[in-house]
Amino acid sequence: MHPNRCCALHPLVPLVATGSSDTTVRLWRLDGECLRVLRGHKEWVYTVAFDPMGDMLCSGAFDATLRLWNVSTGECIRIIRRPGVSFHSVAFQPGTGAYIAAASSERVVRLFRVADGEVARTLAGHSNAVTCVSFQPPDGTLLATSSVDCCIRLWRAADGSCVSVLGERSRAKVWCCAFDHSGLLLASGGSDGVVRVWRVADGSVLCALSGHKGAVRSVAFHPFISGVLASGEGNLTWGSDNSVRLWLVGQDSHSLLETAKSASLDMIAGTCKAIVLGHSRMVTSVAFPPDGSILVTTSRDSRAGLWEVSIIDGDTRVDMRLHPAAAQPASVSSLGGGTHQLDQAQLAHMSQQEAQVAAQMSDLVSGAVGNSNFLVDLANIAEDTPHAHSATDAVHNGARSIGAPNGTEHSSEHASTDDSGALPTSSLPATPQWVKRVAGSKGAAAADELRSQVAAGQRACAQAGDGRA
């Protein structure tokens, strides 16, 4: 068993990629079956990312290389080398996917051309190692970068100029950053345990979310509800409960985006809606799929977890809960109507701060506090251990039409030696399953917008699926 450092979700089909300290990249189905192991890196794989169409996967490691993989065949199609560099984060440019932004132990961010692997642009300005990169939706006009130098920089991707610097007076190292789907908001997390939501337009702090005990290592917005935000925490030694939290920023997505567009410098409130204490060590990444129906987390405890996300309608706000499979309902307690009491077993696994947060949540319409059990546990597989097929058949979300026969695990290192066969992506359904589980609307003001976004996603996925077939 080796710690999972990172994860990425395929943009079209239910497929998860993870990178691990055992130097491998693995592709998983949602039922926990490993489809393929990609070998070639010599050190810890620290970051993975799919291109916009999901044809290619980029992985970065502490071995001073970026590797580009063909998702269908598992072939390593290109190796980008930067001697003496440890790669921390990679991101494909939205839309065309023509460029890869890479953060590393260097004090600069480099944009690599996917076509030939050459450096297209170097962004210099940080005074210490860069920890994360994130392109602004929908077309990657801006690139956000976070750093150990305690600030975030926004760059114009077209010419590499620095547009603004966020948090210049901060003393907290910034470990992660992520745009929302509109590109108007940017979330960040750092060593002070605070999740900050920034206005991209003027660089001001719109909301500061406190509650984490340890450093915030990863943040992710819901794919189409800007007010919903997930964060994961963890410290290398002590002082953290390794929790994952779901937050609601503002009252609803529509008013939040209107506030982000306005010239007002007033801050808005955020609420912790759910806490999950399922990981025993540092949470290294959190990610939503395109339909927002689950949350994927990775951790140094060697597990990657899939948590189901339910978004429950409200007249003026969105309420959420995180819960594992229905077969294990005792692992999460719902806090509804202010009458629910946490049992002693749960309180025993919570710090004083967690218990206080849980008590504060008791007057919400719904929420969740849990401390064990994943919807699906994607545990790393030993080198020569045959894979035991998961019994969680109800969770596969149609993913059994993807990939290898049951009980097999594919491996590839180089294109010249890969004889494992391609994943049968040509047999994918015309409408991939990410778009099929979107729970609820958000009241009359946003219902039409939500439905149109889902319909547009279904049409785009259907067209992509038909094109692949």
Whether the ω angle into residue 138 lies within 30 degrees of 0, i.e. cis, is yes
Residues 324-336 have pLDDT tens digits of: 432 222 222 222 2
Look at residue 424 in the predicted model and tell me its pLDDT: 38
Look at residue 456 in the predicted model and tell me its pLDDT: 52
Residues 9-49 have pLDDT tens digits of: 999 999 999 999 999 999 998 888 899 999 999 999 999 99
Please list, residue by residue across 299-310, b when 16 or more beta carbons sit within 10 angstroms of its beta carbon and e when fewer do.
bbbbbbbbbbbb
Residue 128 near residue 149 (C-beta atoms within 8 A): yes
- The residue ranges of every structural domain in the chain are 4-379
Residues 306-321 have pLDDT tens digits of: 887 776 644 334 445 5
Q: Is the pLDDT of residue 277 over 60?
A: yes
* Alpha-carbon span 259 to 276, nearest angstrom: 29
Residue 35 near residue 406 (C-beta atoms within 8 A): no
Look at residue 219 in the predicted model and tell me its pLDDT: 98
**Any residues with CB less than 8 A from the CB of 292 and at least 6 apart, and which?**
222, 223, 224, 225, 228, 309, 311, 438
Residues 115-133 have pLDDT tens digits of: 999 999 999 999 999 999 9
**Cα-Cα-Cα-Cα dihedral sign, residues 11, 15, 19, 25:** negative
pTM equals 0.74
Average pLDDT (450-454) is 44
Share of the chain above pLDDT 90, in %: 49
Average pLDDT (230-256) is 86
Mean pLDDT rounded to a whole number for the chain: 74
Q: Tokens 């993870």 label which residue?
A: 18
Residues 359-403 have pLDDT tens digits of: 433 333 233 444 334 455 565 333 322 332 232 222 222 222 222
Q: Is the pLDDT of residue 2 over 90?
A: no
**Any residues with CB less than 8 A from the CB of 314 and at least 6 apart, and which?**
365, 442, 443
Between strands 368-370 and 270-276, the pairing is parallel
Backbone phi, psi, residue 6, to 5°: -155, 160
According to DSSP, the residues that pair with 377 across neighbouring strands are 305
Identify the CATH number of the domain defined by range 4-379.
Answer: 2.130.10.10
Locate all alpha helices (DSSP H) within 319-443, ordered by sequence.
Answer: 344-348, 352-360
Residue 30 near residue 16 (C-beta atoms within 8 A): yes
- Long-range contacts (CB closer than 8 Å, 24 or more residues apart) made by 383-390: 387/33, 387/34, 389/31, 389/33, 390/31, 390/32, 390/33
Average pLDDT (124-145) is 97
Residues 165-211 have pLDDT tens digits of: 999 888 999 999 999 999 999 999 999 999 999 999 999 999 999 99
**Any residues with CB less than 8 A from the CB of 412 and at least 6 apart, and which?**
36, 37, 38, 39, 73, 74, 75, 76, 418, 420
